[in-house]
Amino acid sequence: MRNTRASRNGSSSTELVAILLGVLLGALFGMTYGHAIWLASDGPAKKLDRLHKTIEQKLAFARHAEGESNSAEATRLRSHLPLIEAEIRRTEAVRAEAAETDQTVPRLISEITRFCGDIFLRMLLMIVIPLVVTSMICGITSLGDIRRLGRVGGWTLLYYLTTTAVAVALGILLLELIKPGVGADDTFAYVGEHIMASRDTTIVGTLLEVVRGREGDPGSGMIPSNLFLAAGQMNILGLIVFSLVFGGALSTLGEKGRPAIEFFHAFNDAVMKVVHLIIYFTPLGVFGLIATNIADSGGGNAFYAELVGMGWFVATITIGLAIHTCFLFVVLTVFARRNPLQYTLAQARAILTALSTDSSSATLPVTIECVEESGVSERAAGFVLPLGATINMNGTALYEAVAVIFIAQSAGIPLSGAALVTIFLIATLSAMGAPGIPNAGLITLIIVLAAVGLPAAGIGTILAIDWLVDRERTAVNVFGDTVGAAVIDRYLAKNAI
């Protein structure tokens, strides 16, 4: 047994080194060769399309400002148009120059690089649904008495709510101290149509939609009317609710339900074997995902320019996430009685996978493996982690608070104490109840902006760098899940559940 564990630890260390190498090579490749890939993959044409849409949106916003007798804002927005037009001319020249050169080799490299990232992400997403269902059912049935589920679930939700609230409060405090939005440039800010379409949504409407689903979509919501459609749409929350009820029902059947319980335990073991196989592809997948994202932003120089332009915004979020991680270290030490450095190192593969995939759900297979290898019981990991990947969004909550106040500062709009309290409450709730749709974090951000009377157009200011900070907050989300699993595991052991 000891030899097996030592062998597995050695294998994990090798995998971690390989993933780190994939991250570094992906970043280096994207920074040095990303611009060539961007040119070969129709990057200039996509940028031109966005710039033309930006002009149309600026004019629409200017007309809206004039309609509200805000001539100063209208004048400011119209002053951006010559700069955008100059960028259009520059990008057209770049596209014309690229068209005169042979793009065969860069295009081939682009396709191979993107394929490496896409196939890894698809493999992870492929295994998420069976993993969530089996791990939740195994976790619930291993608790035994169904009445214990309420106590465990209550403590789990309390942990999620508390850590999320702390993250939001921390984000608000840092924004008031650093003030990164003062003097921010929103010349090229553009907000996508799918985000603007949700600007009239209310926080109550969004939370109700999470429970009952979207109208005309039987696969959405916590209680989907079509479970198979919910699985096809990656509605994790709906599958978790079903698994909780189904696992609880199995646990009440006694010996009659034993064969089904053993089936799901065997199924879960088989799924974890598949996860082990997928993890072998992690270094290559991480390389492809990171290199592709840097290339999509225009390559090394363009990415660096975006980073410099939004430097204080990125720095504020990074500092906030770092401080919140230290808070999680304290939680790990006090409530889980674990060495935070050793435990964090054991979760490194999951954290790096989260950084590359930008998805708590896609990272879930790796997260469960890392947590169980750290000595957390299968029942705690199987119950806490799938639920956490859906509703435990510490990093997202901090980001929303930071983004809202940043937008207010960049627009020169002062926020009252009541507005800050509103941001605290709504950011906490919306992060936990974000709907399972694309850009859910940005859509709930629209809701918070509307709640304190800020313009939704301000989101365009942060979109250029959002893909980077989104990975940072996803990594913190995942680490928060692993800490929660350790805390609940100690609660289960302490109370002999």
More confident residue, 410 or 318: 318
CA 494 to chain CA centroid, Å, is: 32
Place of tokens 């492929």: 126
Contacts with 477 (C-beta within 8 Å, 6 or more apart), sequence order: 354, 360, 388, 389, 392, 393, 394, 395, 396
DSSP 100-118: TS--HHHHHHHHHHHHHHH
Q: Does residue 77 carry a pLDDT above 90?
A: no
Q: Are 300 and 32 in contact (CB under 8 A)?
A: yes
Q: Are 492 and 152 in contact (CB under 8 A)?
A: yes
pLDDT averaged over the chain?
Answer: 83
C-alpha separations of 465 from 23, 119, 309, 468 in Å:
19, 25, 9, 6
pLDDT digits 0-9 by tens, 120-163: 988 988 888 898 888 888 888 877 666 667 778 888 888 988 99
% of the chain beyond a pLDDT of 90: 25
The crossing angle, in degrees rounded to 10, of helices 417-432 and 203-212 is: 10
C-alpha separations of 384 from 136, 220, 234, 348, 449 in Å:
8, 22, 18, 19, 31
More confident residue, 310 or 89: 89
Give domain limits for the chain: 2-41+102-494
C-alpha separations of 450 from 5, 195, 198, 358, 420 in Å:
53, 13, 11, 26, 13
d(CA 59, CA 351): 42
pLDDT digits 0-9 by tens, 320-329: 999 999 999 9
Q: HSE-up of 412 (CA within 13 Å, CB side)?
A: 6
Average pLDDT over residues 173-193: 76
Q: Are 134 and 381 in contact (CB under 8 A)?
A: no
Q: Does residue 314 carry a pLDDT above 80?
A: yes
The model's confidence at residue 456, banded by pLDDT at 50, 70 and 90, is low
pLDDT digits 0-9 by tens, 460-491: 777 767 778 888 888 999 999 999 999 999 98
Which residue from 201, 231, 199 is spatially nearest to 214, judged by alpha carbons?
A: 201
Q: Are 18 and 283 in contact (CB under 8 A)?
A: yes
Average pLDDT over residues 397-425: 80
The pLDDT of residue 140: 81
pTM: 0.78
DSSP 281-323: THHHHHHHHHHHHHHHTTSHHHHHHHHHHTHHHHHHHHHHHHH
Average pLDDT over residues 4-31: 76
Q: Are 342 and 494 in contact (CB under 8 A)?
A: no
Place of tokens 């390559």: 299
d(CA 393, CA 397): 6
The model's confidence at residue 357, banded by pLDDT at 50, 70 and 90, is confident
Which residue from 456, 475, 371 is spatially nearest to 407, judged by alpha carbons?
A: 456
d(CA 362, CA 211): 22
* Residue 54 token pair: 């930006």
DSSP letter at 69 equals T
CATH architecture group of domain 2-41+102-494: Orthogonal Bundle (1.10)
d(CA 325, CA 343): 13
Average pLDDT over residues 385-390: 85
